[in-house]
Amino acid sequence: MITTIEILFEDDYIIIVNKPNNVLIHYSHYARNIKDATLIDLLENQIEKRVYPLHRLDRKTSGVIVFAKEKAFIPKFQELFFNDEIQKTYLGIVRGFSPYNGKIDTPVKNPDTQKYKEALTLFETLNSYTLDIPVHPYEQSRYSLIKLIPKTGRMHQLRIHLNKISHPLVGDYKYGDRFHNRNFENNFDCHNLFLHAYQLSFTHPFSNEKIEITAPLNSNWKKMFSVFGWSL
C-alpha cells in the first residue's frame, strides 16, 4: 500500500513527483472500475494543498509527473508542452534485441474518435541481455533496455509503438507478450509494466531556471538491473 509520494522538485508554482506504478493520476472514463486512491488524492493529502496535473502518465507507468499549484499557472506550463519545449525521456525493458536506434511513426488510434493521429517516437537501445531461461517458443530469452523520446503525446503511444516494431514492453498485458510477462512474474516476482518516465527537462516559464528532473527507478527495476548487470 502506497503511503508517501516521492517529491522530486517543488517551488511556488509547481510540484514534481515520482509516480508509482498502478496508480491513476485522477479518475477517468477509461478506468472507471478502479476505486483505489488516485495520485492527486495521495499527493493532496500529503502536502495539504490542491494540485493540478500538467500532463499525463498511464496508470501502469511510473516516473516523473508535474503538477501546478494554482490553476492560474497552468497556461504558461501547457504552452511548453504544446510548443515541444519540454523534453521527456522514458526507459523501457522490451522483449528481444531491439535495433540500436531509430524512429517509429506509426499513427495511433484516438480512443474517443476512433480516428488515427500522427505519432512519433525516437528510441535508442542502451543495453541487452540473454537469460538462460526458456520462454515459448525459444530455449533462451532476450531483453533490451531502451531509451524512448516521444515527440507526440498519444494515449498508450510508447506501448503501441514498441509493439509495432515487435519489441513490446515487459509487463504489458494489453500490447505485450504474455509469455515474457510470466517469465518476469514467475522467476523474478516482478508484476509491473517496465515503462518509466525517467527524465524531464524544460526552462521554467516564471523563473527562467533550467529544470532537469530525474526519477529514481523502483525496486523492480533495480532487481532486474542487478540480474542483467545493467547500469545507467
Q: Which helix (H) or strand (E) holds 221?
A: helix 219-228
Active site residue 189: no
Q: What is the largest CA-CA distance in the chain?
A: 57
Which entry of 11, 12, 36, 58 is annotated as an active-site residue? Answer: 58
- Give the C-alpha separation, 105 to 121, whole Å: 6
| CB 155, CB 141: distance < 8 Å | no
What phi, psi does 144 have (nearest 5°)?
-130, 150
C-alpha cell at 187: 522467476
Closest-CA residue to 92 (of 58, 116, 117, 119): 58
Reported residue count of the chain is 232
* C-alpha to C-alpha distances, 124 to 68, 90, 128, 134, nearest whole angstrom: 31, 11, 12, 26
List Cβ neighbours of 150 (8 Å cut-off, separation of 6 or more).
Answer: 88, 90, 119, 120, 121, 122, 157, 158
What phi, psi does 161 have (nearest 5°)?
-65, -40
Which amino acids are annotated catalytic? Answer: 58
